[in-house]
Amino acid sequence: MIIGFSRKVGALLVAAVLALLAIGFSAAPAAASSKAAAGKAVTSKVVYITFDDGPSPVYTPKVLKVLAQYGVHATFFEVGQNVAAHPSVTTRVYRAGNSVQNHSWSHPDLRKLSASQFAYQVNATDRQIRAHTGYRPCCLRPPYGAVNGAVRSRTAALGKKIALWTVDPRDWSRPGASAIQARVLSHVRPGSVVLLHDGGGDRSQTVAALSGILRTLKARGYTFATWAR
């Protein structure tokens, strides 16, 4: 009886130990998953600030000053003929650590162009940007966000990615700095791409709104990144 009892106790102890080990091993992946999820949530709270239609000798330097004040880099989708007219501004944008990408040569609706006209719009702009930055853009932002199957296939054939946006405060319509700021801040989410303008007209309202946008997003815990440089 004693021997049988001892065997039962031993069996129970072994079972208990195995149960504890099983609990430990099943809990470890759960803890690791929680840490990974938390890390992903933090790193995904990123916003991409982008500017179209520059460079402008008046407004682009003002935008750069605000970006530098907050330690933020942005992506500038530049029009080739503006780069040709103001090459030193493009060089300054790039040397400040920002990304300079392609926004066509003269801002047409790319859907309405022939294949050769499309290629010219993109390649001529590439040449200008590369001449003043040493970098060939890898992204194309079609003017007006106008995209169809032909634009997609031609862009891919030229080795580029199409880069659009997710937040458009319509700053080009000049609704007022406070309206621009409010529209951006009410729609930004992790991973948002914000469309603003530093060229193509009077962009004083955009410049005035930018400081509040960056300050508030930073206070909300956002970080900032650029498209490939």
- Strands 46-52 and 193-197 turn out to be parallel
CA distance 56 to 15: 76
103 is catalytic: no
Place of tokens 């490939």: 228
CA–centroid distance for 37 within its chain: 21
Element (H, E) at 49: strand 46-52
197 is catalytic: yes
The residue annotated as part of the active site, out of 52, 126, 171, 198, is: 52
Question: 122: which residues sit within 8 A by CB, 6+ positions away?
Answer: 102, 104, 105, 140, 155, 158, 160
- List the structure tokens of 51: 């500017």
Examine residue 142 and say whether the peptide bond preceding it is cis (omega within 30 degrees of 0): no
- List the structure tokens of 187: 């729609």
Helix (H, G, I), strand (E, B) or coil at 140: strand
Helix (H, G, I), strand (E, B) or coil at 78: strand
The residue annotated as part of the active site, out of 126, 132, 197, 198, is: 197
CA distance 224 to 218: 9
DSSP letter at 173? Answer: G
Beta bridge partners, 49, equal: 194
Q: Name the residues annotated as catalytic.
A: 52, 197
